[in-house]
Amino acid sequence: MQLRVLIVDDEPIAREGVRVQLSKHPDVEIVAECADGLEAVEAIRDANPEIVFLDVQMPGMDGFEVLQHLDLAKLPAIVFVTAYDKYALKAFDVNAVDYLLKPFDAERFEKAFTRAKAEVTTRDTALLDLRLRKLIDTVRPAQKHLERLVVKSRGRIFFLRVEEIDWIAAADNYVDVHLGRESHLIRETLTALEAKLDPGKFVRIRHSVIINIDHIKELHPLFKGAYEIVLMDGTRLKSSRRYYNHISELLES
């Protein structure tokens, strides 16, 4: 069985180093190579690799931010490639996520690759999710909530600041993100995205809609706990009775 592997590093020499080591394994298929975090997010979603060699320190979006833009429940086995100091490396060890410290030799690579393959074959998704969340919290304690979204539109990929979002609607396995007259489809479920957003800023008002509370202009009571919500840009949305408590908390704040 072929193992689908993806390499992410902003340094061409580092990508080549991983590629050379992987060439020793006939059961490996390198499905993509990425030079930055933006490319990595899209490639992981599109290529569905089983193992990813992920550089931690990259300009624009680092390795931890890449993880924050993915559904951790569907995440491949991650081998971090890093030049972090000893303190950070302890966090990797404690949370049982393997890493390669640059520069690495063939023996260390084989150890990391063997562990990654074992994780693919004896995968415990819930345990992996817990490990990665602990790792992100340990190494990046200040960044608790998502600050930017990656948007792919009309052949280009760009960042979207979360604070600019007015509201978000579910669209099957996508979300429709609205900013004034603009909207963008992003491959993410509403529940998965909600878990990454600041609950003090974003509130679900019905099963399929989340709003940015900073963009609310007016609230109009309807009946039996439902409300019409008017946003700053004039958009009108209706909440459902099921999420009455979310609205009542806004009125009390």
3-139 adopts what CATH topology? Rossmann fold (3.40.50)
pLDDT at 192: 81
pLDDT at 125: 56
Write the pLDDT tens digit of every residue in 184-240: 998 888 888 888 899 889 999 999 999 999 999 999 988 878 889 999 999 999 998
Write the pLDDT tens digit of every residue in 153-188: 777 888 899 999 999 999 988 899 999 889 999 888
pLDDT at 75: 79
Homologous superfamily, domain 154-252:
LytTr DNA-binding domain (2.40.50.1020)
Put simply, whether the predicted model's pTM sits higher than 0.85 gets the answer: no
Range with top average pLDDT, 11-25, 64-78, 172-186: 11-25
Q: Are strands 156-161 and 202-206 parallel, antiparallel or unpaired?
A: unpaired
pLDDT at 96: 41
Write the pLDDT tens digit of every residue in 80-108: 888 776 645 655 664 546 888 888 999 99
H helices of the chain, in order, are: 12-22, 37-47, 63-68, 86-94, 106-121, 125-139, 190-196, 244-252
Return the domain boundaries, the chain.
3-139, 154-252
